[in-house]
Structure 1
C-alpha cells in the first residue's frame, strides 16, 4: 500500500496543473547579506516547503481551491513532509514521484529588507518525468525551468489547453517550446536575458515596485501598477504566487490589465508572509478588490 498522502481536493478536473520543482528551503535570515568571503552572525534558521513548482501549485490551490502537482521528491523524510504539506493545502499530489535521489534543496539567505540569495541543489527534480500523466482538454498547465527543459517541452506538447511558462531561471529556450507557449511570464531581468521573448505572442513582465505589463508580439498592450507594501517580510514566493494568479485570472476571462492587477495584488500579499508558500485569499477576493482600478478611465 502506498504511504503517499492523498489530497483533499475534489476529484473534478483541477483548475491548474503545475509541472516543476519541489524543494526543501533552508533559510537563514540576517540583518544583511554577506559579501564574498564575509561571515554575518545573528541569523535565524528556518526550514520550509519551497521550489518554484510547488510554490505555484500551492498558490493556485489557495486561490482556486484546488490544483495538481507533477514533480518528484526523494524517499526521504523531507520528501514525505513536502508531499504532506502540499496535500494539506489542497494540491492533488498523486503525480508526484518518489525517486532514488535526495529531495531537492534550496539554501536561501534573506536580509532585513526581504532581499535574497539562493543556491538550488536539484536532487530529485532532475528525475521529473511525465510517465502516465495526462492533461484534459480544458486543463491549464504551468511550468518553470527548474526541471529539465526537455520535460517542459514534453508537457507543452501534451497540453491540450492553455500552456504557460514561467521562464525562470533565465536560459536559452528551445524554439519549439516558445512556439507552444500561450503565455510566458518573466521578471524584467529575465526578459532582457532571453531575447527570443521580444517576438513571443504573449509575455507578462514584472518590474518589482514598478508593477507589471503584458506584451503581444513585442508591443506593450497592458500594464498595472504595483501595490505599495511597507511591511515586506519575504520576497521568495511572491513571483510564484504572481504566476499562479495571472494564469488563473486570464483563464477566468479577465482582460489583460485586470488580470495583471489581480496578480500584483496577490504578489503584494505574498511578500507580507514569511513563508515561500504564503497564505492567500480566494481569487474572487482579488478580482473584486481590483475591479474598480481595472475600469477604463
Structure 2
C-alpha cells in the first residue's frame, strides 16, 4: 500500500502571455480551478498508476474542500485518514506561460493542521510505502518519519518545497527526491556539492534522486549511480510534473520494481504530464505510461 501524508489544495490557475516580473500585473486568460497540492498530486499519480493508495492530510470546512478532494475520490484514493478543520482549505495561485513555465504561490491553510497521529502504527509496517513532501508541518513530518522508520515502512521524501527538515529525518528516509533548486538548497545546508552522490555521502543512508528537467534524472544509491534520460517533449504546462514523478516512482517501487525501472516509468509519466495543462487533470494513467514506454525515448507531443 502507498500512504501519502501531505498537502491537499485547490489550485487557481491563470494562463498568462508571460510570467509577471516583480511589481508587474499581467492580464491572463480565464481562471481555471483544479484539485492540487503536492500530497494530493502524488496520491493521484500513484493511484492512476495502479497502486492502492491512502491519503492522510487536512482540508477546511469551507467551499474549497470538496472541489479539492474531487480527483482523489475519482481516482479511488482512501480518504478515511483525512481531517476536516475549521480553517481555510489550502490553495495555490498558479501562473503558466505559453512555454509551460510556472510561478506558484501557496497558502497552506488547513495543511498545517495535518497530524502524524492521523496515521496509525498499523499503517506503517514493511508492506507500506510512505510518501511525504514539505507542504505540511515540519514537526509532524519528522514525527511520522521517525515512527515509520521504527516500524519498517519504506519512506520516500520529496523535499519540495525546500523547507528545513531535521538531519535525523533526512537520514532516516529510504529515497530522497529533489529537483535542481531543492538539491542546491540542501547542499548549502549540508555544506557539500549538490549532486546526488555528494548529498548521499553527506547523509549516509538514503538513495538520492535529483531531477533535472530536460537533462533527465540522476540517482546515487548503495549500489552506485543511475541516470535516466528525459523523454523529449514539447512542454505545455509543467505543473504537477515533479509530483507525478514522485507518485509513479512510489507506485513502481511498491510493486517491487528496481529503482532504475521505477525512475524510467516515473520519467515517462512526468513527461506526459508536461504535455497537458493543469494539475491533477494532467496526470496520466498506467495505460498511457505503458504506451509511451513501449514507444521508447522519442520526441512526442500531446494528441
TM class, shorter-length: 0.7 to 0.9
How far residue 285 of structure 1 moved from its aligned partner, in angstroms, is: 5.0
Match of 1:151 in 2: 140
For 2:105, which of 92, 108, 119 is the aligned residue?
Answer: 119
How far residue 83 of structure 1 moved from its aligned partner, in angstroms, is: 2.4
Cα pair 2:8 2:57 within 8 Å, conserved: yes
Q: Deviations over 1:81-120 (max 9, x none)?
A: 2223311111111111100100011111111111011111
Closer/same/farther in 2, CA of residues 183 and 56 from structure 1, 3 Å limit: same
Cα pair 1:65 1:90 within 8 Å, conserved: no
Match of 1:272 in 2: 275
Equivalent residues, number: 277
How far residue 75 of structure 1 moved from its aligned partner, in angstroms, is: 0.4
Per the normalisation by structure 2, the TM-score is: 0.85
Match of 1:27 in 2: 13
How far residue 180 of structure 1 moved from its aligned partner, in angstroms, is: 1.2
1: CA distance, partners of 2:181 / 2:156: 19
Match of 1:212 in 2: 217
1: CA distance, partners of 2:141 / 2:291: 30
Task: Note the residue ranges of structure 2 that are not aligned, 5 or more in a row.
Answer: 191-198, 298-303
2: CA distance, partners of 1:268 / 1:288: 9
Q: Deviations over 1:54-80 (max 9, x none)?
A: 000111111125311100000012112
Residue 173 (structure 1) aligned with residue 159 (structure 2): no
SS of 1:44's equivalent in the other structure is coil
More moved, 110-119 vs 154-163: 154-163
Match of 1:254 in 2: 257
How far residue 122 of structure 1 moved from its aligned partner, in angstroms, is: 0.8
1: CA distance, partners of 2:146 / 2:54: 18
How far residue 208 of structure 1 moved from its aligned partner, in angstroms, is: 0.2
How far residue 290 of structure 1 moved from its aligned partner, in angstroms, is: 6.0
SS of 2:232's equivalent in the other structure is coil
How far residue 271 of structure 1 moved from its aligned partner, in angstroms, is: 1.0
Match of 1:161 in 2: 153
Match of 1:9 in 2: none
RMSD of equivalent CA atoms:
2.2
Cα pair 2:6 2:133 within 8 Å, conserved: yes
1: CA distance, partners of 2:270 / 2:210: 13
> Which structure 2 residues correspond to residues 27-46 of structure 1 after superposition, within 5 A?
27-46=13-32
Q: Is the helix fraction higher in 1 or 2?
A: 2
For 1:77, which of 46, 63, 76 is the aligned residue?
Answer: 63
Residue 229 (structure 1) aligned with residue 215 (structure 2): no
How far residue 259 of structure 1 moved from its aligned partner, in angstroms, is: 1.9
Per the normalisation by structure 1, the TM-score is: 0.87
Name segments (4+ residues, structure 1) moved above 3 Å: 283-288, 290-293
Match of 2:72 in 1: 86
1: CA distance, partners of 2:2 / 2:182: 24
How far residue 220 of structure 1 moved from its aligned partner, in angstroms, is: 5.9
2: CA distance, partners of 1:287 / 1:16: 24
Cα pair 1:258 1:290 within 8 Å, conserved: no
More moved, 137-146 vs 242-251: 242-251
Task: Note the residue ranges of structure 1 that are not aligned, 5 or more in a row.
Answer: 1-14
